[in-house]
Each structure stands twice: as structure tokens, then as C-alpha cells.
Amino acid sequence: MPHSTYRIAVIGAGALGAIYASLLSRTSHSVSFIAAGERHDRLKCDGVTVNGTPHAIDVVPPEEATPADLLMVAVKHHHLGEAIGQMTNAVGPHTTILSVMNGIDSEERIGAAFGMEKVLYGLSLGIDAVREGNAVTYQNLGRIQFGERENSTLSGRVRRISALFDEAGLAHETPRDMIRNLWFKYMINIGVNQVSAVLRATYGALRESAEAREMMDGAMREVIAVAMAAKVDLGEADIGQWYRILSSLGASGKTSMLQDVEAGRKTEVEMLAGTLIRIGRGYGIPTPVNEKLFEEIRRIEGK
């Protein structure tokens, strides 16, 4: 990656993509969205608005993209296959790809297409963004956790991207064990995203509801059981850590899955409960809470 001006490309202009692109665009580096078809035209025409401020960020169709130094992937799980196809021209010899998607398998899917040596692991934690059309609002930016699979010492590209995020005002940290942290975020999403969608509950409502807590606890404990079988260091104390995060989120904030349900969009339930149920079966571990959540969210989507 060059040491002067970075070429940053972002694929995905939902809440995370819009926020991160808007912050990065305030630096001295070049930032562009990669988008095709109607999405390209809408972004070109309307840009994105973040906390009331409009941002006219460059938009490039996939066929006109050129190799980026940093390529951030912020699409929904069910759009990743399409996004990988649209990223091809943006990946060159010196490109680092950073996924901030939910779930535990986007890095491997991207690495299968472009080589794991190009991929950093990443996730977004503690952000409470709400998106309506091209407008995104948030109270808490949270932080990006990213790095190599193991980070006892920081690689050169991790240090360079850390400096870039500092310049953009993006809070970040590099955990020693990124796989454990991906599973931690996955556990949170399994609990809060799915339960909020079923109960139609904001963060504030989730904090006040004993029913919500019981459902979240049950769903997250199933993640812990499967993680332990997969030799991932996740445990009961991580549930307590989630509730500390929940206490910091804006009461009116909504999970991405609740926003999808309210907007009539397809949810990421396949990536959440669906993946856990499948992995659980492979280890012979029952996941009844997630099976019920999966069925209920599928029913909601069917409406």
C-alpha cells in the first residue's frame, strides 16, 4: 500500500458503508463507491447523507473500477456473491480487502476469490446507525476491530490502516485473536438482531424487556456451545460484555435486522440462525432457540 495517498474503494452504501465512506472522504485520500445499475445511478444523483450532512462521494461502475489500496466490503450477506463479482477490477497486486460485514465467513469467501493473503478480518462493534433511504443517522460510532487472523505483533498493513483510521476519526482496535472476536460479534448478532426483529424492539425496549433478555440469552448460549465445539474461546462472560454494550446504545436505535423487517427487505437470518443451525448439526449440538427464531423471521419475511 502506498504511503502517501490511498485509493479507497467501498462496496456497499448501506449504513456502515455510508458512514465509513463519509468519514474517510474528509481525509486527504481518494474515496469512491463501487456500484452498478440503479444503485450506481441513485448514489451518483443523491449521494449519501450522514447525520444530516450530505456527502457527494465519487461512484464508479464495476467495469470502470481500478485497483484500490484499501477495499472495504460493507454489503449484506446475501449480496456478497454479487459484490465479489463487482470487486474484480478494484483488486490489484497491492490491494488490502477489509470486510466489516456481519457473520463469520465473509473473509473466507472473499479470500477464495482473491487470495486470503489480500484479506484482513474485520467487524463493526457498538454502532447504532439507522438508515432511511440514502440518509443515515447514528449517535454512537462504535469502533472497528480489524487485523490479521492473529495479531501478537502488528503487520505493516495493519499499522498503515490504523493510521488511516486515526486520520478519519474512526475508533479502532486490533485484538490479538480476530477469530474469537468475529464469533463474539456473531453471538451478539444472533441474539440482538434476531430477537429485535421478532419483538419489533428498539435497543431501549430490549433493555427493559425480560422476555427479550431470556430469548437473547438462549440464542447466545447456543452460539457459545457451538463455538466451544469449534475450539473458539467464547464463554458465558461474553454475554455479560454484550449487555454492557447494550447499555451504551441509544434507546431509539434499531438493529439492522429490525430495520430490514420494517422496510420489507430480505433479512440476514440465513447467515445468523441458518449458519448456526447448520454448524450445530455438524457437531451434534441442538440449537432449538435459533430454530424457532429462524422459523419466525422466515414467517415475517413471508408476509
11 in a domain, yes or no?
Answer: yes
pTM: 0.89
Q: What is the 3-state secondary structure (H, E, C) of the chain?
A: CCCCCCEEEEECCCHHHHHHHHHHCCCCCEEEEECCHHHHHHHHHHCEEECCEEECCEEECHHHCCCCCEEEECCCHHHHHHHHHHHHHHCCCCCEEEECCCCCCHHHHHHHHHCHHHEEEEEEECCCCEEECCEEECCCCCEEEEECCECCCCCHHHHHHHHHHHHHCCCEECCCEHHHHHHHHHHHHHHHHHHHHHHCCCHHHHHHCHHHHHHHHHHHHHHHHHHHHCCCCCCHHHHHHHHHHHCCCCCCCCCHHHHHHHHCCCCCCHHHHHHHHHHHHHHCCCCHHHHHHHHHHHHHHHC
Any idea what the CATH number is for the domain that residue 155 is in?
A: 3.40.50.720
Verify that 164 and 198 share a domain, yes or no: no
**Predicted confidence (pLDDT) per residue in 157-170, tens digit:** 999 999 999 999 99
Verify that 163 and 298 share a domain, yes or no.
no
Tell me which of 123, 150, 176 is where a domain ends. 176
Q: Quick check: is 86 in a domain?
A: yes
Out of 176, 199, 232, a domain closes at: 176
* 184 and 153 part of one domain: no
Note whether 127 and 163 are same-domain residues. Answer: yes
Q: Are 150 and 188 in a shared domain? A: no
- Whether 1 is in a domain gets the answer no
Beta carbons of 77 and 103 less than 8 angstroms apart: yes
Number of domains in the chain: 2
pLDDT tens digits for 93-118? 999 999 999 889 999 999 999 999 99
Residue 52 CA to its chain's centroid (Å): 22
Residues 92, 208, single domain; the answer is no
Tens-binned pLDDT, residue by residue, of the chain (303 aa): 444 789 999 999 999 999 999 999 999 999 999 999 999 999 999 999 999 999 999 999 999 999 999 999 999 998 999 999 999 999 999 999 999 998 899 999 999 999 999 999 999 988 888 888 889 999 889 999 999 999 999 999 999 999 999 999 999 999 999 999 999 999 999 999 999 999 999 999 999 999 999 999 999 999 999 999 999 999 999 999 999 989 988 899 889 899 999 999 999 999 999 999 999 999 999 999 999 999 999 999 986
- Decide if 2 is inside a domain: no
Residue 281 structural domain: 179-302
| 150 lies in the same domain as 224 | no
Q: Looking at the domain assignment, is residue 240 inside a domain?
A: yes
In a domain, 214, yes or no: yes
State which of 176, 197, 231 marks the end of a domain: 176
* One domain, residues 171 and 212: no
